[in-house]
Structure 1
Amino acid sequence: MRARSGLAFIAIPRGSKLRGFTLLELLVALAIFAIMSLITYRGISMVIDTRSAVVSETQYWRELTLAFERLENDLSQVAPRPWRDERGALQPPLRSVSSLQVPVALEFIRFDANRAPLHGVYECRDQTLQLKLYPRPDLAAGDVPVPYVLLSNLSQCEFAFMDKSNQWLPGWNDATTRPRAIRVRLAVAQRAGSYERVFLIP
């Protein structure tokens, strides 16, 4: 008696034919795969681009907000204290200055958290808004301020000063009085419009 093998055989009906994919079917399958891959790639690329745009926009508004908050913090605490320059001459606690290198600058004395006087300068230069802080309120020969860039890529950076007649002036050098308010106007290159804030001076 013949032993049976453990292999199973499938009987193929007579007249039937085994066939694989035709060339046309393979081409259609490859085309569908390519289209799906392209859609997936574009979807991922759009997600990455959107995320980058959101991060860039968030950083832009954060820097702009922090710059205006710093301006408000400094200008709301202007100290009624004159200061001496390198030559020993008295200067007002708040004034505007300009030069060929720095067309627009705002110099001030303010109180810090410990009520100690702090000497700072806001400068519009090289398409940036910078804050420079001196080590002491009264300057000595060789004093070098520490610069901080608050905003960059600016197309407009202006200060204006309101006098007692509510008129806006481009500069302020009155040592006897302070301006009623200071207007700061900023515009960023490749962005529409400008941003303006008015700060009341105590």
Structure 2
Amino acid sequence: MMKRRLQSGFTLLEVLLALAIFSMIALTTSNQINVIRNTKESALAQIEQFDGVRSAIAVIRDDLGQAYHKRYRDLGGDLQRRVQRSEPAPHTLFDGRSNQLIFTSLSHRNFYATRKDGQQAEISYFLQASPRNGLSTLMKRESPIIDGNLFEGGSLYTLLDEVSQLEFKYWDDKLLKWTEDWNSDAGTTRDTFPKAVKMRVATVDPKSGKEVSIETTFKIGFPNNTDYMVAFP
């Protein structure tokens, strides 16, 4: 009798209890897998955000590191007079604002044998509003032709999408502080370039809404300020 009872199968209650335990284990495992997957996706998205910002910073660092200010006395008599009268004239420039930057640099690269571009170019960085989500796109304008209008012409490139903040500041050697604007064509900064530019840029992941913000400083290696100072009449 005892032997027959030991050989009998599981009761319905035991089966239901086993199924309940298995379901709980499966649900817990599934939730853990989802958490791991979501964490991985979030981490990868944040890494992509940082990579995008770092790539944009690398481009700006290369351009600003080669910002070039040509000698006023090397412009020639006609151009000197036009610059003095604030008339349009091909000349080097550094026009820095709180969220926009325009300057001349030796960072241009000519990859076409049929084009006779030089190294010097007009460079601009500015924000272009995006109609999709209220954010902006960081754009770069580059023109190998330095003409009387340094604010137009050339080619446009997208550097960074989903930008929520862009801020530039400029180091003033005389005031020993960061300023929010710089104009090499006027005022106390006339005929000079700043020795450094500070930038803060932030992007937002459209899916998670997380913001990545980076602040960095670019050194201008050869602002040529001492030798290029000019006393305008």
Task: Tell me the TM-score normalized by structure 1.
Answer: 0.72
Residue number in structure 2 paired with 1:183: 198
CA RMSD of aligned residues (A): 3.3
Which of 118, 124, 136 is matched with 2:145 structurally?
136
**Structure 1 counterpart of 2:32:** 43
CA gap 1:74/1:171 in 2 versus in 1, 3 angstroms: same
> What code does the residue aligned with 1:104 have?
N
Written as runs of structure 1 = structure 2, the 5 A alignment for 1:2-21 is: 16=4, 19-21=8-10
**1:198 counterpart = 2:217:** yes
Q: Secondary structure at the match of 2:42?
A: helix
Which residues in structure 2 correspond to 1:43-62 (within 5 Å)? 43-62=32-51
Q: Percent identity?
A: 27
| Equivalent position amino acid for 1:70 in 2 | V
Given that 1:121 and 1:133 are in contact with CA atoms closer than 8 Å, whether structure 2 keeps it comes out as yes
Post-superposition CA distance 1:117-145 (Å, at most 9, x none): 222210034333221223633378xx754
Largest Rg, 1 or 2: 1
RCO higher in structure (CA 8 A, sep ≥6): 2
The alpha carbon displacement at 1:55 in A equals: 1.0
Structure 1 residues 26-81: Cα deviation after superposition (integer angstroms, max 9, x where no partner): 21121122112112212321231122122112111111211222111110101335
Structure 2 residue 131 is the aligned partner of structure 1 residue 116: no
**Secondary structure at the counterpart of residue 62 of structure 2:** helix
| C-alpha contact (below 8 Å) 2:202/2:214 kept by paired residues | yes
Contact 1:159 1:170 in 2 (8 A): yes
The match for 1:105 is 100
User: What is the TM-score when the length of structure 2 is the normalising length?
Assistant: 0.63
Report the counterpart of residue 15 of structure 2 in structure 1: 26
Q: Unpaired segments of 5 or more residues in structure 1?
A: 1-12, 98-102
2: distance between equivalents of 1:148 and 1:51?
31
Aligned length: 180
Which structure has greater helix proportion? 2
